[in-house]
Amino acid sequence: MDAAVLALWTKKVIAGLALVPAGPLILIALGLWLGRRRRTVGLSLVALGFLVLVAFSLPIVANAIARPGERDYPPLAADIALPKDAAIVVLGGGIQQGATDYGGETINAVTLARLRSAARLAARTHLPILVSGGRLPSMQTSEGEQMAAALAQDFRTPVRWIEKASLDTSDNARLSVPILKAAGIGTAVLVTDVSHMHRARVLFESAGLPVIAAPTDYYANGPVTVLSFIPNANALRRSAWTMHEWAGLLWSRLNR
């Protein structure tokens, strides 16, 4: 296995085990094991793991932890004046494998939301688009190629550049910036999830390209209803994604 791929999977495994839902489940399992000899400690760990899992499954909690990021990065104003040397940069959010209706794999829902936002932005600004996303050994084609195909086929939006070697957000920036600079692009209008925007912006600007944030996928300011206090899988997924971004930002700061 390629060293870069191995490093990526190592980070994913560590994050997956530490964050929800695996982290609390491991805590519960440890508590059950310890409970045979140290009942109080074991039950405390089980209770803690259960409470953490339930808490992050609540929409009210998922929204609360996402709200600061959404407040820091409001939607791009429709009337904002964009530089003439700008380009829209769309970051991949993942591939859905096993998609038999699309020949085995396609962009996932996260990436689709980003492409929709980019297509709307391109229609309004007529700026060229770069898509960024690489290919793991288990994939048929790179994420960047699949993103370009989706934009062309589903949104009737052409793509100027395809970056198809990146494996994470750091790679997105490191590999996309030289492509854009070589084409005379001076500003990236960056399209990604609002929860991902801060980390992505920092990495692109560290790579030497100014960024105008064009975030998407807002949800934290939805109405509070009785359902906000009932655990569900979507809220757990949202919480996990926000925590993943916190971990990624911490990792980026430690590796500067």
pLDDT digits (tens, 9 = 90+) for 148-180: 999 999 999 999 999 999 999 999 999 999 999
Among 108, 159, 110, residue whose Cα is nearest residue 132 = 159
Task: Tell me the per-residue pLDDT of 25-51, one tens digit each, with 9 for 90 and over.
Answer: 999 999 999 999 999 999 999 999 999
- Same domain? For 57 and 86 the reply is no
26, part of any domain: yes
| Distance of alpha carbon 14 from alpha carbon 24, whole angstroms | 14
Mean per-residue pLDDT for 102-126? 97
Among 145, 88, 152, 96, residue whose Cα is nearest residue 121 = 88
| Distance of alpha carbon 158 from alpha carbon 17, whole angstroms | 39
- Same domain? For 86 and 206 the reply is yes
221, part of any domain: no
- Same domain? For 154 and 43 the reply is no
175, part of any domain: yes
Query: pLDDT confidence of 249, banded at 50, 70, 90?
Result: confident
Mean per-residue pLDDT for 123-129? 97
Contact present, 100 and 77 (Cβ < 8 Å): no
- Same domain? For 82 and 136 the reply is yes
In the predicted model, is pLDDT for residue 19 greater than 90? Answer: yes
220, part of any domain: no
- Same domain? For 102 and 14 the reply is no
223, part of any domain: no
- Same domain? For 136 and 50 the reply is no
- β 104-107/129-132 pair status: unpaired
- Same domain? For 51 and 103 the reply is no
pLDDT of residue 218: 98
Please count the CA atoms within 13 angstroms of the CA of 233 that sit on its side-chain side.
0
- Same domain? For 204 and 240 the reply is no
Among 179, 189, 183, 169, residue whose Cα is nearest residue 247 = 169
- Same domain? For 62 and 110 the reply is no
> What's the whole-model pTM score?
0.94
- Same domain? For 108 and 155 the reply is yes
Percent of the chain residues topping a pLDDT of 70? 99
Task: Tell me the per-residue pLDDT of 198-246, one tens digit each, with 9 for 90 and over.
Answer: 999 999 999 999 999 999 999 999 999 999 999 999 999 999 999 999 9
- Same domain? For 206 and 179 the reply is yes
In the predicted model, is pLDDT for residue 255 greater than 90? Answer: no
Q: Which residues pair with 212 in a beta bridge?
A: 189
Question: Range of 36's domain?
Answer: 3-70+228-254
219, part of any domain: no
pLDDT of residue 1: 60
pLDDT of residue 256: 66
pLDDT of residue 227: 98
Mean per-residue pLDDT for 135-160? 97
171, part of any domain: yes
- Same domain? For 51 and 174 the reply is no
Mean per-residue pLDDT for 62-85? 97
Number of domains comprising the chain: 2
Can you give the CATH number for the domain in which 151 is found?
A: 3.40.50.620
Mean per-residue pLDDT for 49-75? 98
